[in-house]
Amino acid sequence: MLKIEAIHTYYGDSYVLQGINIELKLNLVVSILGRNGMGKTTLIRSVIGFNHPRRGKIYYRDVDITQMKPALISRHGIGLVPQGRQIFSSLTAEENLRIAFRGGTGRWNLEKVYEVFPPLEKRKRSYGNQLSGGEQQMLAIGRSLMTNPSLLLMDEPTEGLAPIYVEAVGKIIRDLQSSGLSILLVEQRAGFAIKYSDFIHIMSKGKIVHSATSQEIFNKTEVWERYLVV
């Protein structure tokens, strides 16, 4: 589904990603864990085309997307749920959804998003800045689904959420996986990632330092203490 081959990404002169290799197979949830500032969000931005790698390759379904513009990458079937939600506060919830809809005969449309997120239908005429944090996160996920992706990039989807919404996001992730989506998830909550992922990569200082199944990571206390505990 997604193959990242030895990418090196910079912010100006700052060397952030230092030779990242990742493969994501069809219909799996793969999480990227690590402390703040380790390069996790830069990885997402490299895949979606916001920060192009200077070296290395990124393939989506065997198509080289390394230097593509974000809009074209999205049309190929990659959706983004960005860190901080980034919804349009001056638009209603429904306008936020409609603006992302690409049309066609894909699985996701307004009615399907409302079916998955009933609170959004109730608040469809509320402006983005009138929604709670949990409702904004539902909106960010729903907006991405309106592009009808096959691969979903989720950057810190539980950030700032109350526990009840954290569990709701986890259930949404598993439901989306059951519907056929593959998901690359960046997350700060190690317990959440372990519970809702199939495979985990741990990042430190711009490199992948450990990779294992969720269960294997759960059982490796020394890995937790070295790379994840603050």
Each residue of 2-14: pLDDT tens digit?
999 999 999 888 9
**Which segments of 176-225 are extended strands (E)?**
182-186, 199-204, 207-213
Task: Decide if pLDDT at 92 tops 80.
Answer: yes
Confidence of residue 226 (pLDDT cuts 50, 70, 90): confident
What fold characterizes domain 1-77+184-230? Rossmann fold (3.40.50)
Average pLDDT of the chain to the nearest whole number: 91
pLDDT digit string, tens, across residues 125-155: 999 999 998 899 889 999 999 999 999 999 9
Task: Decide if pLDDT at 63 tops 90.
Answer: yes
Q: What's the Cα-to-Cα distance from 132 to each of 86, 161, 207, rounded to whole Å?
A: 14, 9, 35
Give the pair of three-digit tokens for residue 41. 């969000």
Give the pair of three-digit tokens for residue 134. 């949990």
Q: 3-state DSSP call for residue 219?
A: coil
In the sheet that holds 55-60, the strands lie side by side as 14-24, 2-11, 55-60, 63-64
* pLDDT mean over 168-194: 90
Confidence of residue 191 (pLDDT cuts 50, 70, 90): confident
pLDDT of residue 42: 95
**Which segments of 116-174 are extended strands (E)?**
151-155
Task: Decide if pLDDT at 34 tops 70.
Answer: yes
Sign of the CA dihedral 98, 170, 46, 106? negative
Task: Decide if pLDDT at 44 tops 90.
Answer: yes
pLDDT of residue 43: 96
Distance CA 87, CA 139 (A): 8
DSSP string, 3-32: EEEEEEEEETTEEEEEEEEEEE-TT-EEEE
The domain ranges of the chain are 1-77+184-230
pLDDT of residue 76: 93
Task: Decide if pLDDT at 89 tops 70.
Answer: yes
Q: Is 222 exposed, middle or buried (0-12, 13-18, 19+ CB in 10 A)?
A: exposed
Neighbouring-strand partners of residue 32: 186, 201
pLDDT of residue 32: 95
Percentage of the chain surpassing pLDDT 90? 66
pLDDT of residue 51: 95
Q: 3-state DSSP call for residue 152?
A: strand
Cβ distance 57 to 66 under 8 Å? yes
Task: Give the CB-side neighbour count of residue 145, counting CA atoms within 13 A.
Answer: 25
Rg of the chain over all Cα atoms, to the nearest angstrom: 17
Task: Decide if pLDDT at 105 tops 70.
Answer: no
Confidence of residue 104 (pLDDT cuts 50, 70, 90): low
Single pTM value for the model: 0.90
Distance CA 159, CA 128 (A): 17
